[in-house]
């Protein structure tokens, strides 16, 4: 059985490197170990050519201000998910990923991650994100989630993500999920799948399926199939905090369902933002794009030399 601590779910949100435990507030400044171990200080300018996600200073929010703490006690409608939500640096969990099926193991062995126990040099990895392919779902919940926001309407809820400026349409009009995805006459798989939502008490429950299986679950190469079903539960704990749990059921890839995220708590972003990156007063998300030309430049100018290889 693959332990989540080794396979990625306890460190997915921390990016490409293990992160020290968060401060008491659950947030602290972040920077990739790639900067500290592979790239000398004089090469930091060159690293600016890489994927925006890896380049942006992984600065996370500092401890909540007294004003923010006071706001937590404010009355709030638990069905109101509005606002800009920022993720903690790291969530430690002892959960385990279910054993893989033969199909799942085959996919896993074909994936060549540049992080974790099976890590190889970046330029030899086939992680889709290196070429700026979409992260896909639910990987975008575990890596580079940074900040997100919800836009709620009577018929749908739209979830917006900072990284790659992507969104998900979560239909709340009573429609059912498609069941013939990828089959003749059926809809095509999508990077972020097909989603429907409903309220279960004070929890907003989202069910998703039909995710393109070219995406990975995490930076460690854990696979999924198009048949995977994911259930998210968002619960507003108070004015300032939103809790997320994620359950994955993928009989084609894993022998049984597993709790991928037992309780990720987001914090409502405050005015001032992170290192001036975002204008919280207007509810804007910063632009953080993966740019293919920058990724290619980084691979040639930094990743290959760091691996001891040069282009001829």
CB 298 within 8 A of CB 51: yes
Rounded to whole angstroms, how far apart are CA atoms 222 and 215?
10
How would residue 289 be classed by pLDDT, with cut points 50, 70 and 90? confident
Tens digit of pLDDT for each residue in 212-252?
A: 999 999 988 999 999 999 999 999 999 999 999 999 999 99
User: DSSP letter at 158?
Assistant: E
Rounded to whole angstroms, how far apart are CA atoms 214 and 227?
13
Per-residue pLDDT at 280: 54
> Is 22's pLDDT higher than 50?
no
Per-residue pLDDT at 217: 94
Which sequence spans correspond to the domains of the chain? 2-306
Mean pLDDT of 106-131: 93
Q: Which residues pair with 233 in a beta bridge?
A: 205, 245
CB 191 within 8 A of CB 134: yes
User: DSSP letter at 304?
Assistant: H
Tens digit of pLDDT for each residue in 276-286?
A: 455 455 677 87
Q: 109 to each of 98, 214, 257, how far by Cα in Å? A: 16, 14, 21
């Amino acid at each position: 059985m693959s332990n989540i601590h080794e396979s990625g779910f306890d460190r997915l949100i921390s990016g490409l490197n293990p992160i020290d435990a968060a401060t008491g507030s659950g947030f602290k400044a972040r920077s990739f170990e790639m900067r500290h171990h592979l790239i000398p200080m004089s090469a930091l300018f060159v690293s600016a050519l890489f994927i925006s996600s890896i380049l942006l200073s992984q600065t996370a929010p500092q401890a909540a201000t007294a004003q923010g703490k006071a706001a937590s006690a404010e009355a709030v409608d638990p069905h109101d998910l509005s606002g800009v939500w920022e993720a903690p640096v790291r969530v430690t969990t002892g959960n385990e990923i279910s054993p893989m099926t033969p199909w799942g193991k085959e996919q896993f062995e074909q994936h060549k991650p540049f992080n974790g126990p099976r890590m190889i040099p970046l330029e030899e990895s086939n992680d889709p994100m290196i070429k700026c392919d979409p992260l896909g779902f639910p990987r975008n919940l575990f890596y580079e989630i940074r900040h997100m926001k919800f836009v709620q309407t009577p018929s749908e809820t739209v979830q917006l993500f900072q990284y790659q400026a992507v969104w998900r349409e979560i239909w709340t009009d009573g429609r059912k999920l498609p069941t013939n995805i990828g089959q003749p006459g059926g809809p095509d798989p999508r990077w972020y799948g097909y989603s429907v939502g409903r309220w279960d008490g004070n929890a907003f429950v989202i069910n998703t399926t039909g995710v393109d299986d070219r995406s990975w679950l995490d930076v460690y190469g854990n696979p999924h199939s198009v048949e995977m079903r994911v259930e998210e539960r968002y619960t507003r704990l108070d004015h300032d905090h939103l809790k997320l749990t994620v359950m994955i059921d993928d009989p084609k890839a894993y022998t049984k369902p597993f709790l991928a995220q037992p309780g990720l708590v987001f914090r409502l972003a405050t005015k001032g933002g992170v290192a001036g990156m975002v204008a919280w007063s207007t509810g804007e998300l910063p632009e953080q794009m993966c740019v293919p030309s920058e990724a290619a430049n980084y691979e040639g100018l930094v990743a290959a030399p760091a691996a001891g290889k040069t282009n001829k």
